[in-house]
Amino acid sequence: MADNKDKKALNVPALRFPEFGGEWNFELLDEIAPNITSGKSKPSIGEYNLYGSTGIIGKTANADYSGDMLLVARVGANAGSLQLVNDNCGITDNTLIIKPCKLSSHYLYFYLQHHNLNRLVFGSGQPLITASMLKKVRIPFGNQLEQRKIEQLLVRVDERMELQNKIIEDLKKLKSAIVEMLFCKHGGVLLKLGDIGSFVRGLTYSNEDVTEDINATTVIRANNLNYGNNVNKEDVVYVNKKPTEIQILRKGDIVICMANGSSSLVGKNSYYSFDDRHSTIGAFCGIYRTSQPLVKWLMQSQIYKRLVYQSLQGGNGAIANLNGDDILNMTFRVVEHEKSISILSALNLVENSIAVNENLQELYSRQKIYLLQHLFI
């Protein structure tokens, strides 16, 4: 591709296919697609099989796009999100429908991703984007061949990202299936969590203790936990309060959500993979600490989830919380040590493969962001 960032012509993208020249044109969306309408109360879009997170129907880059519609979520938390669907899909009345006349739906779809429609969203109670706002968006474009070349490239990137998502989901299903191989219906070894580990409840703090100082104590909360993933430290709280020594997280700890307004979230947990000795957990969470590597996987199993459910139904369900004894009294019947070693080895290999493929997906995502930023003006 040609790099145009140092060219004198301003109305061209920074990244361009070398066979194209000349400046681009601009037109208002109202001129390109004068008929922007609201959806009718038909079946929800979610009832149809859309093409992954991008929302593109499964078509090749050479397909005829004339039957597509570009949908923009108009109200609610998803205001500003985009979907491409075909004429047979149901459309809610919470959407705006753009039927392009001068440009293909795919080209317009990708440009509006670059444009970031969230900038047009207003309102707090029920955020929305109006048709009048959309009509004022200026759309840049080259000739039809250049438009098609851009959309073909970006469709290919989306298709690769969708394939990558499927690889990751298949690996996660494989991991879940292998986890269940750790258990025996009969025989095996009885493993009681209270016999092989300890439980620690989290740090109690008030709003006055919260600070923006990243050098203060880092607090891990329920939103940082997710079955099957390590603790996520992207959205944490910092507090001017010191935890006790046993409340400080150590590498290998399992952090558990012990109380939540939603009972379905109680019991979810994640492995703490860091060794910073600078973090703790909030009072609604707990730490299960053990040197037994099996436990990390047991707490991702369906059996564990059933035990949590039974504990909640046994008396804590009304306020959606567990206590330490609920965790320590959990008992599992697992395979003998020799078999467990092989299973744990397989689980570690699959988990490493998931991490590699998730990193690859992140690279594809960054690649798409770069292309959106540089293929358009």
**Which pLDDT belongs to residue 211?**
96
List all residues 6 or more positions away from 318 whose beta carbon is below 8 Å from its beta carbon: none
**Which pLDDT belongs to residue 48?**
31
pLDDT tens per residue, range 235-290 = 999 999 999 999 999 999 999 999 988 888 999 999 999 999 899 999 999 999 99
Top-confidence residue, 1 or 226: 226
Burial code (b: 16+ CB inside 10 Å, e: under 16) for 137-176 equals bebbbbeeebbbbbbebbbebbbebbebbebbeebbeebb
Positions of E strands within 39-136: 68-73, 82-86, 95-98
**Which pLDDT belongs to residue 93?**
62
Residue 324 has pLDDT above 60, yes or no: yes
> 90: pLDDT confidence band, cut at 50, 70 and 90?
low
Structural contact between residues 313 and 263, judged by C-beta atoms closer than 8 angstroms: no
> 5: pLDDT confidence band, cut at 50, 70 and 90?
low
DSSP string of 208-248, one letter each residue: GGEES-TTSEEEE-GGG--TTSBPP-SS-EEES-PPPGGGS
Top-confidence residue, 91 or 369: 369
Question: How far is residue 68's CA from residue 57's CA, in Å, rounded to a whole number?
Answer: 9
Can you give the pTM of this predicted structure? 0.79
Top-confidence residue, 274 or 95: 274
Positive or negative, the CA dihedral 87, 89, 93, 98 is negative
In the chain, where the domains are located? 1-24+142-181+336-377, 27-141, 185-334
- CATH class of the domain comprising 27-141: alpha beta
**Which pLDDT belongs to residue 92?**
60
List all residues 6 or more positions away from 331 whose beta carbon is below 8 Å from its beta carbon: 190, 191, 192, 193
Top-confidence residue, 36 or 352: 352
**Which pLDDT belongs to residue 36?**
81
Top-confidence residue, 279 or 90: 279
> 41: pLDDT confidence band, cut at 50, 70 and 90?
very low
Q: Examine domains 27-141 and 185-334 and report if their fold is the same.
A: yes
Length of the chain: 377
Rounded to the nearest integer, the mean pLDDT of the chain is 84
pLDDT tens per residue, range 212-250 = 999 999 999 999 999 888 999 999 999 999 999 999 999
Residue 352 has pLDDT above 90, yes or no: yes
**In sequence order, what are the beta bridge partners of 73?**
95
**Which pLDDT belongs to residue 371?**
97
Question: How far is residue 154's CA from residue 371's CA, in Å, rounded to a whole number?
Answer: 8
When pLDDT is averaged across residues 110-131 and rounded to a whole number, the result is: 77
Structural contact between residues 140 and 147, judged by C-beta atoms closer than 8 angstroms: no
**Which pLDDT belongs to residue 63?**
38
Distances (CA, A) of 68 to 37, 90, 106, 368: 15, 13, 8, 22
Residue 6 has pLDDT above 60, yes or no: no
- Looking at the chain, the whole-number percentage of residues with pLDDT higher than 90 is 62
Question: How far is residue 83's CA from residue 40's CA, in Å, rounded to a whole number?
Answer: 16
List all residues 6 or more positions away from 233 whose beta carbon is below 8 Å from its beta carbon: 218, 220, 224, 274, 279
User: Token pair 């567990």 is at which residue?
Assistant: 322
Is it true that domain 185-334 has CATH number 3.90.220.20?
Answer: yes
- Tell the CATH topology of 1-24+142-181+336-377: Helix Hairpins (1.10.287)
